[in-house]
Amino acid sequence: MQYDDKSRVEKAKKRAVVKQTEARNRVELFRHLPQYEHGTQLPDLETKFFELDPMHPAVYKVGLQYLSGDIRGGNARCIAMFQAFKEAIKDYSTPPEKTLIRDLTARISSYVSFLIECRPLSISMGNAIKFLKNRIAKLPLALSESEAKSTLMLDIDRFINEKIILSEKVIVKHAVTKIRDGDVLLTYGASSVVEMILLHAHELGKHFHVVVVDSRPKLEGQLLLRRLVRKGLSCTYTHVNAVSCIMQDVTRVFLGASSVLSNGTVYSRVGTACVAMVAHAFHVPVLVCCEAYKFHERVQLDSICFNELGNPDAISKVQGRKEINYLDGLVNQENLQLLNLIYDATPSDYVSMIITDYGMIPPTSVPVIVREYRRDHLWS
């Protein structure tokens, strides 16, 4: 939804479960994206737990976890959402004078609307929801309610296992062939699949060094660094502002992705494009690891039209240093607008290879994967 359309925004507010307060100092360039005051939604939602009659408790719990930031990462969010839907389907019973297919589709749509209010969906979650609704629509009318529910729950389990868990293992198998003894591998932020690749290569006895590049405000790279060091990997930790200094020693760059679009653009955590461009300037191969269910037919040329805005207060404060508050008293000034973007778009020119569960492909072959994925019996 375009949030600069006042009439549509007012209608959405009336239907909304999560009461949002619009930010006072909205960034004009991103006015089409939702910009709300952060920190007020969670307490309000927690008090309504017993008032939300049509909302299933499992879906409600996942929504709260999205809102609080307890669940992060494309795969983790998608799995949590599908597990909640599975619980909701298990407890579902068709109301009298209604059909299962129509009523359950409407029920899933209401759950999705609630989750969007808690946090905008990732592209991969949109693909997963499309898959589930497609499976509901194709249920044979001859099936009883219990058989239909069992079929859908099996479809959800199969999607999670085949399209996420097994896909990650296949990507790891392909990616480790690109790691050699003596390599210096750079990664940015914390990607679950990149972590699996590095740990598997270490288990195979390969000797390499890892450079973890991080950035504020989330500092996700610290979590990855802690896990790698505990497993005995040799690591260096630095921030994104020093990436040009350290890139001259790097032999390969491994990056995760939130999505890969049909023109080869990689949609990932903000800062990814910067790392890829610096690597390209130093002639260092950039390998993007992404599951096929995250591919999308959309074409995107910038990070403005579609994006997500994080808590603006997160960039005005230094984590763990309460005495450093240079912007204290200025945050509410009308002439100051804080912008905390979540994603950016990396042009295909800066990506050497995309490693997927379908194999290792150049960015120009992404439309083929999108087409083949749609033909898949799980998808269509």
Start-end of CATH 1.20.120.420 domains in the chain: 6-167
Question: Is the confidence at residue 47, as pLDDT, over 80?
Answer: no
Sign of the CA dihedral running 318, 234, 73, 291: positive
Per-residue DSSP letters for 6-18? HHHHHHHHHH-SS
pLDDT value of residue 155: 93
| pLDDT grade for 39, boundaries at 50, 70 and 90 | low
Q: What is the mean pLDDT of residues 247-272?
A: 93
pLDDT value of residue 9: 60
Question: Is the confidence at residue 53, as pLDDT, over 80?
Answer: no
pLDDT value of residue 313: 77
Residue with tokens 């996420």: 164
Question: Is the confidence at residue 45, as pLDDT, over 80?
Answer: no
Q: What is the mean pLDDT of residues 155-168?
A: 93
pLDDT value of residue 244: 93
Supply the angle between the helices 192-203 and 221-230 in degrees, to the nearest 10: 20
| pLDDT grade for 13, boundaries at 50, 70 and 90 | low
Which fold, 179-307+342-378? Rossmann fold (3.40.50)
The pLDDT tens digits for 281-325 are: 999 999 999 999 999 888 888 888 888 888 877 777 776 666 666
pLDDT value of residue 21: 64
pLDDT value of residue 378: 46
Comparing 332 with 118, which gets the higher pLDDT? 118
**Residues contacting residue 25 through CB under 8 Å, at least 6 positions apart:** 332, 333, 334, 336, 337, 338
Question: In this structure, which CATH number among 3.30.210.10, 1.20.120.420, 3.50.50.60, 3.20.20.210 belongs to the domain 6-167?
Answer: 1.20.120.420
Give the 3-state secondary structure of residue 77: helix
pLDDT value of residue 41: 63
Question: Is the confidence at residue 133, as pLDDT, over 60?
Answer: yes
Give the number of other Cβ atoms within 10 Å of residue 194's Cβ.
26
pLDDT value of residue 380: 44
Distance CA 193, CA 200 (A): 11
pLDDT value of residue 161: 94
Start-end of CATH 3.40.50.10470 domains in the chain: 179-307+342-378
Distance CA 118, CA 7 (A): 21
